Amino acid sequence: MSTTTAVPTTAAPTTTKAPVSSVPPPANYQTITCREYQTLDESHQIAVLEALGGNNADLVAPIIDVGCSGFPDLTIADVLAGNLPE
């Protein structure tokens, strides 16, 4: 008599991202600070990056979040330009 053992299968969890809407950037997008930027929803963050001339804004946004984490008063324009304090 042979026995078989069933191997449990598990599915990898999946995450879904809310679609990013096309919205205008806030009026202060040229001088917006990291602190202000981090309070925006993803659609507005992308709009700020696009208005400042950022390419691939959806890919750059998470990097900006990391770059901003230690510099809340730095402007997003400075972060994009690589003007980080030492």
What are the pLDDT digits (tens) for 64-77?
Answer: 888 888 899 999 99
Question: Using the 8-state DSSP alphabet, how is residue 74 labeled?
Answer: S
On whether residue 53 sits in a domain, the answer given is yes
pLDDT value at residue 15: 53
Number of domains making up the chain: 1
Which residues constitute the domain of residue 67? 34-81
Choose between 24 and 1: higher pLDDT. 24
Burial string for 3-27 (b: 16+ CB within 10 Å, else e) reads eeeeeeeeeeeeeeeeebeeeebee
On whether residue 39 sits in a domain, the answer given is yes
Instruction: List the beta bridge partners of residue 75.
Output: 33
On whether residue 6 sits in a domain, the answer given is no
Candidate from 16-25, 40-49, 50-59, 63-72 with smallest mean pLDDT: 16-25
pLDDT value at residue 39: 94
Instruction: Show the tokens assigned to 70.
Output: 């230690």
CA distance 8 to 5: 9
